[in-house]
Structures are given as C-alpha cells and as structure tokens.
Amino acid sequence: MATKKYTVTLPEELAEEIRHEVGSGGFSAYVTRAVERQREQDRLGELVTWLEEEHGPVTEDELASAEAERREFERHFAEQGPGAAGERHRRAS
C-alpha cells in the first residue's frame, strides 16, 4: 500500500507514552492501526444505524438473549483451554 506523510497534532503526553512503548520506528504503524480500528468502529456504527432503520431498534429481550449466548460461548472456550482449537485442527489434518 502506498503511503503519504501527514502532519497531525496529538497531546504531547499521549504521543510520548506511545513512542516510549513502541519506539520511534513503530510510532507510525501504531497510529495507522489505531486509525484503522476507528474506521472499523465507524463502519460498524453505520451498519447498526442502517439495520435499526430497516428492522427497528434491538429490544431488551434480544440483548439479553445475545448476552446469554455470548456467555455460553465464553464458558465453552474457557473449558477447552488455551490452544485447544489449534490442537483439534492439527489432529484432524
């Protein structure tokens, strides 16, 4: 992907904290990933708005059901332990 240099203004404390964590060479990559994540969030927000316009807002019952399902998935994968999915994949190969 082609790149172009831009000038942005960041709070000094935040910029120095990031630079300290990633080093001067990783600063641009860090900022790029942050902007990419923000764009993903913006697009998801646009999708939610469109879906709510098409189908109406999500009800409390739907939210509760989705949360219960999420907790069940979380429990299932916690029981499997770290790396369990990769181990099953290797055995199946």
Tens-digit pLDDT profile for residues 22-72: 998 899 999 999 999 999 999 999 999 999 999 999 999 999 999 999 999
Tokens standing for 14? Answer: 């935040």
Residue that is written with structure tokens 């189908």 in the block = 55
**pLDDT of 82 higher than 80:** no
In 3D space, the residue among 37, 19, 40, 16 whose CA is nearest the CA of residue 28 turns out to be 19
**pLDDT of 92 higher than 60:** no
Question: In this predicted structure, what is the pLDDT of residue 36?
Answer: 97
pLDDT band per the 50, 70, 90 thresholds, residue 81: confident
Q: How much is the pTM?
A: 0.65
Helices (H) and strands (E) in the chain, counts: 4, 0
Residue that is written with structure tokens 């409390």 in the block = 60
Average pLDDT over residues 14-20: 95
